Amino acid sequence: MRAGPSQEEIRRHNLGTLLRHVHLGGPTSRAELTNRMGLNRSTIMALTADLTAAGLVREELPKDTGRAGRPSLVVRPESARVYVLAFDVGVDRVVAARVGLGGAVLDRRETTHARGSFDLADLVATLAGFARQMTRKTRADTVCVGAACAFSGGVRHSDGYVRFAPNMGLEDVPFGEELSKKLAMGLPVAVGNEANLGALAEHTRGIGVGCRDLVYLHGEVGIGGGIIVNGQLMGGMSGYGGEVGHMIVNPGGRPCACGSRGCLEAEVGERALLEHAGRYGEPLGRDGVRAVVEDADAGDIMAQDALHRVGNWLGLGVANLVNIFNPEIVVFGGMLREIYLGSAAQVRSRVNTGSLIASREHLRLRISALGDDATLVGAAELGFSQVLDDPLEVLARLGN
Amino acid sequence: MSQAPVLELRGINKSFGPVQVLHDVTFSVYPGEVTALVGDNGAGKSTLVKCIGGIHPYDSGEYLFQGEPVHVSGPRDAAALGVEIVYQDLALCDNLDIVQNMFLGRERKRGLVLDEDTMEEMAAKTLAGLSVRTVKSLRQHVSSLSGGQRQTVAIAKAVLWNSKIVILDEPTAALGVAQTAQVLELVRRLADNGLAVVLISHNMNDVFAVSDRIAALYLGQMAAQVKTSEVTHSQVVELITAGRSGELGLKNGTVA
């Protein structure tokens, strides 16, 4: 049995907390940090001095406050100097970005991917190639403090091993390990499920800032989910938690890529929508979905009916989630943004009839504020998580 | 959420000559909420909004603003209270830039000349407050903007004046899917910033996507004002087309 945390642990925790404030809140004055963290001024000063010495933040005089008195120094994240590599592997596109501390995207590369199976070696080579292009041009004093990837599939969080990704034709591949090897930067690559990371992104930088309980639904070919309970992402034992796309809403319904029938993803995913609208082979992906919503708005009866049916199943799924998690907000991201806006009447009606009054009375249904970049932003946040937990240790390990 | 209404109308009647357009209309608008005003063509939505905006004088009834009875006898009275209306045609001037449009008729002056700097700064601050990132320059002519951007400028113009209530008449009609999403996000943000928003719309998806309450007008009568979390699409459609739906709505032609 041990006594309370040691002084060293407290200091590490405070350093991380301060850095997190600046990372998420942008440039913040010392006075404001004193307020928010509830520490005294000299402690804040010592902490910022440590972070400044490590090159993570810098202090500046504010431009003009318009008020009397000595202005409090503003603490800024060293966005141009400290960065992570963030990757996003989706069914239709692959993105890599260099994201600075504070969340600014400094550089990005992306390519589209034709539907069909991915080849692990190709994929890893593409991502590593992008990373090399982006890091080659950086100044000598920059430091990469992490790398992370959002992946459309079930990922074991301990080592970035992809267990299943039925929509990408991958199964049981050591993706994180391979990418890390190929990058050859001496960094492990953290890999997370794309919807889980989308939830993280909306929670930290999007529509759900300040919400403790959030459900994020991400639509691509399939439907992914990320659930934040009491401010923490619910990953489950191995990281496969939140796969709400495979919640069965219609027993014996449409077949799903996972092998089951009537999963939320089978009834609401892109394929269901396009087939109900009588569209086979026409534009797939975001363009195909957008066309259906657009045509429904213009009066196409088939398209309207397709959205109606899909909206009903989506509402049923959301009603179940609302009853189980009692979230403050449910966020629709990816292609579900369009689908939700085109079928909100059905979704809302289903939620209103299918969930408990007590669970839904303060519920908000919203579309993602980060749009197509939600998963990428989430990957960046995952990449920063280590340096935010223990800033000095991570920098020391990187030999800085 | 369950605050006192910022605007409350009670028993509003309005006739144009022999035609009675509004019968005993009761309508409440709450801060921080989007109230959708729905109804068939000719149900009296526009007339009601124009009574709120002081354009049409109402014949009888009470107009309470923040709990106090007030008398609104013209658009300037309504504007002084903080009620702004964005009409369907947006009322923007194509040949003027964004800042000029936002301050049209209410220009800031410094001495004898216009205070362009302050106006531009205020316009920029308002747009930033609404997280509008789609317009490149504030000195762009409105004629060069897309439909969604125009709607954004018109809404920003309404918000600029410390308004308390913003009324939007069919803001998403004639917009594409992507632009509709942008405008709906903006509508939602206005309410999340604490404003009371009234949204007139025929599109049930838009209504259900952003509103907190739905007020349904039927032949000049308020059929019901309900929370969006308590009704279904078909109930709202029944209220619009028949004035009643089960327990909700009008009973034998009178308000329940």
Judged against a pLDDT cut of 70, whether residue B150 lies above it is answered with yes
So what's the pLDDT on residue A168?
Answer: 82
So what's the pLDDT on residue B255?
Answer: 47
Residue B178 sits at the chain A interface (C-beta within 8 Å):
yes
Nearest residue on chain B to A335, alpha-carbon basis: B178
So what's the pLDDT on residue A97?
Answer: 95
Residues in B closer than 8 angstroms to A337, CB to CB, are 181
- Chain B: nearest CA to A358, how far in angstroms? 11
- In a mutagenesis test of the A interface, which of B205, B207, B213, B237 is the best target, namely the one with the most A β-carbons within 10 Å? B205
Residues in A closer than 8 angstroms to B181, CB to CB, are 337-338, 341, 367
So what's the pLDDT on residue B256?
Answer: 43
- Domains of chain A (ranges; CATH) run 7-77 (1.10.10.10), 82-197+375-397 (3.30.420.40), 209-369 (3.30.420.40)
Nearest by CB to residue B209, choosing from A293, A294, A340, is A340
So what's the pLDDT on residue B253?
Answer: 55
Q: State the pairing for strand pair B221-227/B244-245.
A: unpaired
Q: What ipTM goes with this model?
A: 0.84
Residues in A closer than 8 angstroms to B231, CB to CB, are 349, 352
Judged against a pLDDT cut of 80, whether residue B89 lies above it is answered with no
Burial of A393 (0-12, 13-18, 19+ CB in 10 A): middle
Give me the architecture of the B7-82+163-255 domain, per CATH.
Answer: 3-Layer(aba) Sandwich (3.40)
Nearest by CB to residue B177, choosing from A338, A344, A366, is A338
Mean pLDDT of B23-47: 94
> Strand order of the sheet with strand B7-16?
B19-29, B7-16, B60-65, B68-69
Tell me how far the alpha carbon of residue B227 is from its chain's centroid.
18
Q: Which helix (H) or strand (E) holds A386?
A: helix A374-389
Tell me how far the alpha carbon of residue B36 is from its chain's centroid.
9
- Chain B: nearest CA to A288, how far in angstroms? 13
CB A365 within 8 A of CB A348: yes
Nearest residue on chain A to B229, alpha-carbon basis: A352
Of B146, B178, B210, which is closest to residue A371 (Cα–Cα)? B178
- Which residues, 6 or more positions from A198, have their beta carbon under 8 angstroms from its beta carbon? A150, A216, A218, A224, A226, A333, A334, A368, A370, A374, A375, A378
Q: pTM (2 decimals)?
A: 0.89
| Whole-number Å distance between alpha carbons of B36 and B29 | 10
Average per-residue pLDDT in chain B? Answer: 88
So what's the pLDDT on residue B2?
Answer: 57
Residue B36, helix vs strand vs coil: strand
What's the N-to-C CA distance of chain A in angstroms?
35
So what's the pLDDT on residue B252?
Answer: 63
The pLDDT tens digits along chain A (400 residues) read 667 888 888 999 999 999 999 999 989 999 889 999 988 889 999 999 999 998 999 988 877 656 677 778 899 999 989 999 999 998 889 999 999 999 999 999 999 888 878 888 899 999 999 999 999 888 888 899 999 999 998 898 888 888 888 888 888 889 999 999 998 888 899 999 999 999 999 999 999 999 999 999 999 888 999 999 999 999 888 888 889 999 999 999 999 988 899 999 999 999 999 999 998 876 788 889 999 999 998 889 999 999 999 999 999 999 999 999 999 999 999 999 999 999 999 999 999 999 999 999 899 999 999 988 999 999 999 999 999 999 888 888 886 5
CB A311 within 8 A of CB A343: yes
- In a mutagenesis test of the A interface, which of B34, B172, B177, B235 is the best target, namely the one with the most A β-carbons within 10 Å? B177
- Chain A: nearest CA to B112, how far in angstroms? 27
Mean pLDDT of B56-65: 92
Nearest residue on chain B to A289, alpha-carbon basis: B177
Burial of B230 (0-12, 13-18, 19+ CB in 10 A): middle
So what's the pLDDT on residue B15?
Answer: 93
Number of CB atoms found within 10 A of residue A252's CB: 8
So what's the pLDDT on residue A1?
Answer: 60
Give pLDDT tens digits for B182-223: 889 889 989 988 999 999 999 999 999 999 999 999 999 999
**In chain B, pLDDT over 90 holds for what percent of residues?**
49
CB A192 within 8 A of CB A379: yes
Q: How confident is the model at residue B177 (pLDDT cuts 50, 70, 90)?
A: confident
Q: How confident is the model at residue B249 (pLDDT cuts 50, 70, 90)?
A: confident
So what's the pLDDT on residue B1?
Answer: 47
Nearest by CB to residue A363, choosing from B188, B209, B229, is B229
Nearest residue on chain A to B186, alpha-carbon basis: A369
Residues in B closer than 8 angstroms to A352, CB to CB, are 229-232
Report CB contact under 8 Å: B205, A344: yes
Q: How confident is the model at residue B161 (pLDDT cuts 50, 70, 90)?
A: confident
Mean pLDDT of B222-240: 94
Report CB contact under 8 Å: A345, B207: yes
Report CB contact under 8 Å: A346, B233: yes
Report CB contact under 8 Å: B205, A365: no
Residue A6, helix vs strand vs coil: coil
Residue B113 sits at the chain A interface (C-beta within 8 Å):
no
Break chain B into its structural domains and give their ranges. 7-82+163-255, 91-152
- How many beta-carbon contacts under 8 Å exist across A and B? 64
A interface toward B at CB cutoff 8 Å?
290, 293-294, 297, 337-338, 340-349, 351-353, 357, 360-363, 365-367, 369
